[in-house]
Amino acid sequence: MKIAVVAPSNPLSREAADQVQAIARARGDCELLVHPQCFLSNGHFAGSDGERLAALLEVMANPSVDAVWFARGGYGSNRIAEAAVRDVPQAARSKLFMGYSDTGFLLAALHKANLSVAHGPMPQDAIRDGGESAVGRALDWLVGRDQASLEPRLRPPAMAFNLTVLSKLLGTVLEPDFTGVELLVEEVSEHHYRIDRLMFHVTASANVRSAARIRLGRASDIPPNDPDFGADEQAIAAYWCEQAGIEMGESADIGHDSANKVVPFGAQTG
């Protein structure tokens, strides 16, 4: 199968691209088409908004591409997400789109446009500690819908977002309907007080309150709170879920790390 890699946020590193290509070649069950746009650089981004959007629309419209794999997060997919789904080509409807972190803006928009999307590891994860297993897990899902790649306690329909991305989706045209959805969230590099502020904001939403439950994944690389916040991220999430009358489910096996599992959006699990 053919998997196109585009970078709607930050550029992919050459090192990660080489490693993920080597992994794919060794498997022999897929061909990675790493779009040259992945290596463009324009200020913060992997090329201008126009360049990133054009690459994405090109692979969406390409009938020989079976899946679109977002190269990495960072920041910037929100700037092209609305335009990406304005006129969805028919060829996009049979593809699976995968990413996480900042690309959650795009996952939300594509899901809302009735395309098939999943939260899961990305090519740039290849250079993490244990990155080969993350890439392998993502490819196992993209190529063969391997159930072993899935978050193990998933009760679909589900969605997964970085907590900051979820907060910034609310009230925008990208915001999906969370009614009855198991909502998994994870965070990275945010202080406990910021996680508290994010949970305050997210759980205030009537749409989020219509979710079946919230499950917190890993919050990693938390900078020291000075003084100590007084509660950890699981206690913070539980507090705000209780305030909002939202069920708090068990911890989720997702996060900014190589153990990050796949969460297909919606009712799909295969």
196 is a site residue for a second copy (CB under 8 A): yes
**Near a second copy by CB under 8 A, which window of 28-36, 126-134, 140-148, 171-179?**
171-179
Going by their DSSP bridges, the two strands 213-220 and 158-162 should be labelled as unpaired
**Near a second copy by CB under 8 A, which window of 86-94, 109-117, 140-148, 228-236?**
228-236
Q: What is the DSSP letter of 147?
A: G
Q: How far is the CB of 229 from a second copy (least distance, A)?
A: 5
192 is a site residue for a second copy (CB under 8 A): yes
For a second copy, the closer of residues 12 and 262 by Cβ is 12
235 is a site residue for a second copy (CB under 8 A): no
- State both tokens at 171: 């009230």
Helix 233-244, helix 192-203: angle, nearest 10: 20
The helix/strand/coil state of 95 is coil
Lay out the sheet containing 2-6: strands in order across: 31-34, 2-6, 67-70, 96-99, 116-119, 263-264
The helix/strand/coil state of 46 is coil
**Sequence-distant (≥ 6) Cβ neighbours of residue 193 within 8 angstroms:** 225, 229
CA distance 191 to 25: 40
83 is a site residue for a second copy (CB under 8 A): no
- Per CB under 8 A, which of residues 84..143 are in contact with a second copy? none
CA distance 219 to 235: 12
Q: Which residue in 147, 172, 179, 189 binds a second copy (CB under 8 A)?
A: 172
Q: Which residue in 25, 27, 41, 86 binds a second copy (CB under 8 A)?
A: 41
Q: Which residue in 201, 210, 232, 259 binds a second copy (CB under 8 A)?
A: 201
Q: How far is the CB of 24 from a second copy (least distance, A)?
A: 28
**Near a second copy by CB under 8 A, which window of 42-50, 58-66, 127-135, 144-152?**
42-50
CA distance 40 to 198: 32
* Residues at the site binding a second copy, with contacts judged by CB under 8 A: 41-45, 74-76, 78-79, 164, 167-168, 170-173, 192-194, 196-198, 200-201, 204-205, 225, 227-231
